[in-house]
Amino acid sequence: MEIKALCRQAGVAQVDAGPRGAVVGFYRNEFANPEGLVQYVQSSRGHLKVQPDHKLVYRAEWDLPAERLKGVRTFVGQLAAVAAKAKKAA
Protein backbone atom coordinates (compact mmCIF):
# COMPACT_ATOMS: atom_id res chain seq x y z
CA MET A 1 0.00 0.00 0.00
CA GLU A 2 2.93 2.34 0.64
CA ILE A 3 4.14 1.99 -2.95
CA LYS A 4 0.64 2.65 -4.26
CA ALA A 5 0.41 5.89 -2.24
CA LEU A 6 3.83 6.98 -3.48
CA CYS A 7 2.76 6.23 -7.07
CA ARG A 8 -0.25 8.50 -6.67
CA GLN A 9 1.91 11.29 -5.28
CA ALA A 10 4.36 10.93 -8.18
CA GLY A 11 1.67 10.56 -10.87
CA VAL A 12 2.83 7.06 -11.76
CA ALA A 13 0.24 4.94 -13.56
CA GLN A 14 2.28 1.80 -14.15
CA VAL A 15 5.31 0.10 -12.61
CA ASP A 16 6.93 -3.03 -14.02
CA ALA A 17 9.86 -4.41 -12.02
CA GLY A 18 12.14 -7.30 -12.83
CA PRO A 19 15.61 -8.60 -12.04
CA ARG A 20 17.28 -5.92 -14.20
CA GLY A 21 15.35 -2.88 -12.99
CA ALA A 22 11.99 -1.15 -13.39
CA VAL A 23 9.94 0.69 -16.01
CA VAL A 24 7.60 3.46 -14.89
CA GLY A 25 4.77 4.97 -16.92
CA PHE A 26 3.19 8.26 -15.91
CA TYR A 27 -0.51 9.09 -15.91
CA ARG A 28 -1.33 10.75 -19.25
CA ASN A 29 2.43 10.77 -19.97
CA GLU A 30 2.78 13.86 -17.77
CA PHE A 31 4.89 14.60 -14.71
CA ALA A 32 4.14 17.38 -12.22
CA ASN A 33 7.70 18.74 -12.29
CA PRO A 34 9.25 18.14 -15.74
CA GLU A 35 12.29 20.32 -15.03
CA GLY A 36 12.94 18.47 -11.80
CA LEU A 37 12.57 15.14 -13.59
CA VAL A 38 15.15 16.17 -16.20
CA GLN A 39 17.58 17.13 -13.43
CA TYR A 40 16.89 13.85 -11.63
CA VAL A 41 17.59 11.83 -14.80
CA GLN A 42 20.78 13.77 -15.50
CA SER A 43 22.05 13.22 -11.96
CA SER A 44 21.33 9.48 -12.02
CA ARG A 45 24.78 8.53 -13.37
CA GLY A 46 23.34 6.46 -16.20
CA HIS A 47 20.83 4.48 -14.15
CA LEU A 48 17.82 6.28 -15.66
CA LYS A 49 16.72 6.64 -19.25
CA VAL A 50 13.61 8.19 -20.80
CA GLN A 51 12.13 6.13 -23.62
CA PRO A 52 10.43 7.68 -26.69
CA ASP A 53 7.04 6.55 -25.33
CA HIS A 54 7.65 8.75 -22.23
CA LYS A 55 8.36 5.83 -19.91
CA LEU A 56 11.20 6.01 -17.45
CA VAL A 57 13.62 3.07 -17.25
CA TYR A 58 15.58 2.50 -14.04
CA ARG A 59 18.45 0.02 -14.40
CA ALA A 60 19.38 -2.01 -11.32
CA GLU A 61 20.28 -5.55 -10.29
CA TRP A 62 17.49 -7.00 -8.17
CA ASP A 63 17.85 -10.77 -8.04
CA LEU A 64 15.49 -11.37 -5.13
CA PRO A 65 11.84 -10.25 -4.90
CA ALA A 66 12.56 -8.47 -1.60
CA GLU A 67 15.28 -6.43 -3.33
CA ARG A 68 12.84 -5.47 -6.10
CA LEU A 69 10.22 -4.36 -3.61
CA LYS A 70 12.73 -2.25 -1.67
CA GLY A 71 14.22 -0.83 -4.88
CA VAL A 72 10.84 0.12 -6.35
CA ARG A 73 9.77 1.70 -3.05
CA THR A 74 12.93 3.81 -2.99
CA PHE A 75 12.73 4.77 -6.67
CA VAL A 76 9.04 5.75 -6.60
CA GLY A 77 9.63 7.62 -3.33
CA GLN A 78 12.32 9.69 -5.03
CA LEU A 79 9.95 10.43 -7.93
CA ALA A 80 7.27 11.49 -5.44
CA ALA A 81 9.76 13.86 -3.79
CA VAL A 82 10.63 15.41 -7.16
CA ALA A 83 6.92 15.82 -7.99
CA ALA A 84 6.23 17.36 -4.56
CA LYS A 85 8.77 20.11 -5.23
CA ALA A 86 6.55 21.36 -8.08
CA LYS A 87 3.49 21.44 -5.84
CA LYS A 88 5.34 23.47 -3.21
CA ALA A 89 6.49 25.99 -5.82
CA ALA A 90 2.96 26.44 -7.22
Is 11 within the bounds of a domain? Answer: yes
Give the domain extent around 25: 2-85
Is 90 within the bounds of a domain? Answer: no
Q: How many domains does the chain have?
A: 1
Is 16 within the bounds of a domain? Answer: yes
| C-beta atoms surrounding 3 within 10 Å | 16
Instruction: Check which CATH number belongs to the domain holding 49 and give it.
Output: 3.90.1150.50
* 24 touches 15 (CB < 8 A): yes
3-state per-residue secondary structure call for the chain: CHHHHHHHHHCEEEEEEECCEEEEEEHHHCCCCHHHHHHHHHCCCCCEEECCCCCEEEECCCCCHHHHHHHHHHHHHHHHHHHHHHHHHC
pLDDT digits over 36-83, tens only?
989 999 998 888 999 999 899 999 999 999 999 999 999 999 999 999
The answer on pLDDT for 1 being more than 90 is: no
Is 6 within the bounds of a domain? Answer: yes
